[in-house]
């Protein structure tokens, strides 16, 4: 099978490597030839490292490299069976791209978007054959992260949905189905992990203590500030803003001025040398020894917000219970599913904490979903 990838950034190159590793012929298209060369060089180096570490055989590494063609010509995608775009998160640009693709590819070619939060239905609406358009959302780094969200548009046909799942499953990924709503599963449910942590910090708690609380009490591999710095604040803030505007400015998803200022300062995290943390040689780590009760209070506040989002997604049929749990454990490496966590904490305790927060702040972000009030367990 020939797989076309449009966009040679981190996500596009990662998806290309996954496809090529599974014996597909891959064509990576990007109009920026300098970026193409950099991506190709980076890919070759990454494959070389895998071979040197014994993760793959040299023959396999050579096959992966041979399977990928790098080009600036979109016309080379004419014989593709599947095309996945991973370009800038602008709906108008994606719509224009899909319109162009329809004049090049066969009628049977699946057109997929790797968007993390934009409407697949809106992208599909620009096409003559919208039934073949679908969301196939990988997580970064695509070569390592197991989860892929399959997001049918309203117009997507059942055979296209089934074929997209079959292909991605055959690449060794774990697929979940998500309704075409802003943020799909992961980028919707995970928002409070960042936003509530930032709010707690804005109220005066050092970021180091918040990160330590989520790792020590919750068992998260990374704290929210460490993770935001890793993702990049330009990316993380843009997703938050997209979800917020797409939900008609629902207060639950309101972006933070604190993070916006980091973006404006170009303090984007690890990739720029500074974000919430300073990664330069002069950066001074802060030693913290918070009381366990302090860390517990921080964790309790963040976890009930996450549980509330997961329960509401289930209530609104964004995804099934099993797919929600899979998405959060495989997509963002949460130590356990949020609905399982809710059962362990006790739904009455979750509701009580949310109601306390609402009474204190009188903000809609703390409103409790009916899914938590109307049941004993998930």
pLDDT tens-digit series, residues 81-125: 999 999 999 999 999 999 999 999 999 999 999 999 899 999 999
Q: If you ran DSSP here, which 8-state letter would residue 173 be given?
A: P
Domain final position from 155, 177, 199: 177
**The residue to which tokens 């949460």 are assigned:** 334
Q: Is residue 43 part of a domain?
A: yes
**Enclosing domain of residue 166:** 2-177
Number of domains in the chain: 2
230 by Cβ neighbours in 10 Å (0-12 / 13-18 / 19+) ranks as middle
Strand order in the sheet with 174-177: 68-71, 25-29, 2-6, 82-85, 110-113, 133-138, 147-152, 174-177
* Each residue's pLDDT tens digit, 17-38: 999 999 999 999 999 999 999 9
Residues 155/121, Cβ–Cβ less than 8 Å: yes
Q: Are residues 168 and 200 in the same domain?
A: no
Low pLDDT (below 70) residues in the chain: 281-288
Q: Are residues 13 and 150 in the same domain?
A: yes
| pTM exceeds cut of 0.75 | yes
Q: Are residues 251 and 274 in the same domain?
A: yes
Q: Are residues 124 and 195 in the same domain?
A: no
Catalytic site positions:
116, 137, 149, 187
Q: Are residues 96 and 225 in the same domain?
A: no
Residues 350/342, Cβ–Cβ less than 8 Å: yes
């Amino acid at each position: 099978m020939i797989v076309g990838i449009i966009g040679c950034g981190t996500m596009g190159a990662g998806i290309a490597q996954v496809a090529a590793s599974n014996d597909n012929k891959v064509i990576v298209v990007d109009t920026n030839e300098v970026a193409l060369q950099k991506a190709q060089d980076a890919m070759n180096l990454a494959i070389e490292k895998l071979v040197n570490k014994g993760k793959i055989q040299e023959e396999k590494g050579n096959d992966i490299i041979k399977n990928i063609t790098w080009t600036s010509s979109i016309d080379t995608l004419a014989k593709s069976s599947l095309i996945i775009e991973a370009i800038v998160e602008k709906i108008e640009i994606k719509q224009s791209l899909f319109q162009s693709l329809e004049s090049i590819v066969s009628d049977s070619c699946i057109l997929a978007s790797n968007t993390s939060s934009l409407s697949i239905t809106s992208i599909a609406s620009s096409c003559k054959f919208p039934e073949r358009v679908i969301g196939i959302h990988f997580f970064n780094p695509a070569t390592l992260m197991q989860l892929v969200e399959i997001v049918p548009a309203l117009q997507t046909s059942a055979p296209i949905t089934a074929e997209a799942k079959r292909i991605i499953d055959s690449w060794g990924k774990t697929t979940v189905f998500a309704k075409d709503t802003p943020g799909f599963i992961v980028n919707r449910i995970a928002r409070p992990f960042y936003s509530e942590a930032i709010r707690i910090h804005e109220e005066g708690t050092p970021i180091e203590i918040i990160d330590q609380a989520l790792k020590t009490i919750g068992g998260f591999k990374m704290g929210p500030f460490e993770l935001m710095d890793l993702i990049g604040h330009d990316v993380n803030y843009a997703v938050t803003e997209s979800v917020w505007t797409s939900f008609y400015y629902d207060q639950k998803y309101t972006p933070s001025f604190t993070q916006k200022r980091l973006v404006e300062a170009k303090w984007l995290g690890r990739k720029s040398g500074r974000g919430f943390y300073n990664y330069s040689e002069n950066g001074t780590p802060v030693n913290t020894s918070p009381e366990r009760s302090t860390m517990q209070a921080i964790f309790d506040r963040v976890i009930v917000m996450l549980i509330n989002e997961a329960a509401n997604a289930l209530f609104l049929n964004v995804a099934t219970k099993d797919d929600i749990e899979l998405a959060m454990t495989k997509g963002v490496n949460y130590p356990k599913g949020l609905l399982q966590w809710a059962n362990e904490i006790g739904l009455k305790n979750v509701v009580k904490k949310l109601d306390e927060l609402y009474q204190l702040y009188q903000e809609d972000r703390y409103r409790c979903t009916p899914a938590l009030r109307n049941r004993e367990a998930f």
